[in-house]
Structure 1
Amino acid sequence: MSIFSRMADIINSNLNAMLDKAEDPQKMIRLIIQEMEETLVEVRSSSARVIADKKTAERRLERVQAELGDWEAKAKLAISKGREDLARAALAEKQAIAEEITAVEQELSALDDHLAHLNDEISQLQQKLNDAKAKQKAMLMRVKTVSSRLKVKRQVHREALDDAFSKFEHFERRMDHLEGQVDAMDLGRDGKQGLATEIEDLVNDEKVNDELARLKAEMSGKDAGKDGDGKA
């Protein structure tokens, strides 16, 4: 593909349609911008060569125009000297120079048209490039904005989850505390300890009963003595 057909394809292309069809619009826009920049460099290089050709043609035109005047003067000189043959030869050279001038002028006109076309194409391509860069900038801003929003949403969700976990852990600690209070109330009340206490109570009851019987016996003995003394 020549530089000019590629440039025409780029200028006539619809950037939005290309980006819509692309799987990776960011990658596509980078490639488009790279292609445009490379094409611009090539077109400007071609323009520089055309400008150089134009300068060369302009110098050539000046030279042959000067030669045209010289052959005109030579023909007049030959006529004044009675040398019609030389005058004819000088006029023939002048005619050839005139034809060359016409060719150079046509060449310059074509070069001017080519330069004008290149200038127009460069302007359009530059505008396309500016549009592409603007789209790239807008795309990067959208990516940055979306990334920031996603980061914020993730942070908010994370904070919500952290808060929920914190509340759940706080509830668990409260339940542990309540269960601890209940367990503390049952300390010392296990089965073995209760059995030992009951047996000890029985022993104590037996001692009390023995002491009670002793006191009753003593009291009964005293009452009997009093009755005997009274009888005597």
Structure 2
Amino acid sequence: MFQFFRRIKTVVSSELNSMIDRAEDPVKMLDQFMRDMEADIREVEQAVAKQIANEKMLKRKSDDAQALVEKRQQQAEQAIEAGNDDLARRALQDKNEQANQADTLRESWERAKQDADQLREKLDEMKKEYQQMQLKKDGLKARAETAKTRTKMNRTMSSIGNDDSKRGFERMEEKVLQYEAEADTSEDLSQASKTLDDEFAVLEKNGVDDELAELKRKLGKE
């Protein structure tokens, strides 16, 4: 369990480029590694819970056995005071048997407590490592997204200056120049097509305008 968790940690700690070289999607792989870690932690949590429950059970039995030892001791003393040596003897015999059981149970409880403490320490260590890997995963994912964006931008920028784009731009520029030349030519042709009558009509119009202005001046209607 713990060896597998450490193996996962090592993989997550590897450089981003090594995952890319293996044609793996770093973002998806990192998410999968974190899910594997979470599953390991849940499994260890269950093991720790069972061990703690076992430790508590052994502790309770050990305490009960020790309490019975003390009870038999008191009963033996009570029997002696009552002058009943036979009853006192039987109480002491049972006390010795219970003491042996109490010692065995106490040893089992101490071993169980030691195992539970070690599992709790391992679980705490795994959770700390998981938090560290979570932070590192977020950083690696951000780096992966940045790298993808940079690659996309670089490809777009490189396509802007390629020969096809450049030739197409120049072709459109030539069309615009052609449109402008056609507009200038049509204006020149329009000017050249005016007849003498058209020019004299302009002069006559100007003469009427001058006469109208003179008349309005005389009548004070300016």
How far apart are residue 146 of structure 1 and its match? 1.7
Structure 1: tracts of 5 or more residues without a match: 1-5, 183-232
Alpha-carbon offset, residue 108 of structure 1: 1.8
Aligned 8 A contact 1:72 1:91 in 2: yes
Q: Is the 8 A contact 1:29 1:136 kept in 2?
A: yes
Q: Any idea what the Cα deviations from partners look like across 1:31-76, whole Å, max 9, x if unmatched? A: 3211111111111111112222222222223322221121001111
What's 2:173 paired with?
170
Q: What is the letter of the counterpart of residue 101 of structure 1?
A: A
Measured in 1, the distance between the counterparts of 2:182 and 2:6 equals 79
Q: Comparing 159-168 with 39-48, which one deviates more in the overlay?
A: 159-168
2:4 alignment partner AA: D
Bigger mean CA deviation after superposition, 32-41 or 155-164:
155-164
133-142 or 166-175: bigger deviation: 166-175
**Residue 86 (structure 1) aligns with:** 87
Please say if 1:9 is aligned against 2:10. no
- Is 1:45 paired with 2:63? no
2:37 is the alignment partner of 1:36: yes
Contact persistence 2:41–2:126 (CA under 8 A): yes
After TM superposition, give the deviation of residue 99 of structure 1 in Å.
1.3
Deviation at residue 151 of structure 1 after TM alignment:
3.6
Q: How many residues end up aligned between the 2 structures?
A: 180
Q: In the alignment, is the contact (CA less than 8 A) between 1:47 and 1:115 conserved in 2?
A: yes
Distance in 2 (CA, whole Å) between partners of 1:136 and 1:126 is: 15
Q: Which has the larger radius of gyration?
A: 1
1:14 match: secondary structure: helix
Q: In 2 relative to 1, CA 18–68 (structure 1 residues): closer, same or farther, beyond 3 Å?
A: farther
- Alpha carbons of structure 1 residues 11 and 18: separation in structure 2 relative to 1, 3 Å: farther
Structure 2 CA distance for aligned equivalents of residues 96 and 126 of structure 1? 45
Note the 1:50-199 alignment, pairs <5 A. Answer: 50-157=51-158, 159-160=160-161, 165-174=168-177
Asked if structure 1 preserves the Cα contact closer than 8 Å seen for 2:27 and 2:144, the reply is no
Deviations 1:67-109 (A, max 9, x none): 1121001111222233322222111111111112112211221
**Aligned equivalents of 1:181 and 1:64: distance in 2?**
116
Higher mean C-alpha displacement, 7-16 vs 102-111:
7-16
Q: Distance in 1 between matches of 2:167 and 2:69?
A: 100
1:216 matched residue in structure 2: none
Per-residue deviation, 1:164: 5.8
Q: Tell me the distance in 1 between the aligned counterparts of 2:14 and 2:146.
A: 23
Over 3 Å counting, the alpha-carbon distance change for 1:174 and 1:82 in structure 2 is: same
TM-score by length of 2: 0.66
Give structure 2 stretches of 5+ with no counterpart.
186-222
2:103 match: secondary structure: helix
Paired with 1:131 and 1:26, the residues of 2 have a C-alpha distance of 17
Shift, 1:145, TM fit:
1.0
> C-alpha displacement at 1:180, in angstroms?
10
Over residues 97-149 of structure 1, what are the superposed CA-to-partner deviations in whole Å (9 max), with x where a residue is unaligned?
11121122112211221122112211222233223322321221112212322
Equivalent-residue separation in structure 1 for 2:103 and 2:167 (angstroms): 92
TM-score normalized by structure 1?
0.63
